[in-house]
Structure 1
Amino acid sequence: MSKKKKQEAELTLKHSINADLFEQLKHKKQELENEEADKKAEERRLKAEEQKRREKNKSFEELLNESSMNWKEFKDRG
């Protein structure tokens, strides 16, 4: 059997099922991809919100420790 005839004999999923069903499956796939994208966007938003809340509630000591300034040098200059 030649390669071309073999390829013609193999049916793709699109050819073997009803065109309407194929379109429904494509639509459902797109819906699921959109839902996944929305879910990821919501997770990013919630993470950003949580980070803002943590930053807002930091103590003075935490903020001082995170500061890049060398406060000892600043104190000695004054």
Structure 2
Amino acid sequence: MKRVIASNEGFCRRVTKFFNFSDFTSEDLAKILHIKMHNQTEESLLYGFELHSSCSIDAVADLIGTETTEKQCKEMNER
């Protein structure tokens, strides 16, 4: 959002309220993945795919935590 606001001089005068959200944790992201995978409809892009039984929330959170670099976290959470 900072880049969007900075791209137009008049934009920051019109947007005067901002919401600050905490970054998602690895566990938050793992929970989101599980929700998305278990609540699919036929219109879902992932329809028909299933998580392997070993992909528990804890296992996915650990994988995200160990395989994501600080740079990736900063870029994906872009503040």
Scaled by the length of structure 2, what TM-score is found?
0.26
Scaled by the length of structure 1, what TM-score is found?
0.26
Give the number of the structure whose alpha-carbon radius of gyration is greater. Answer: 1
Q: Is the helix fraction higher in 1 or 2?
A: 1
Q: Which has the higher contact order (CA 8 A, sep 6+)?
A: 2
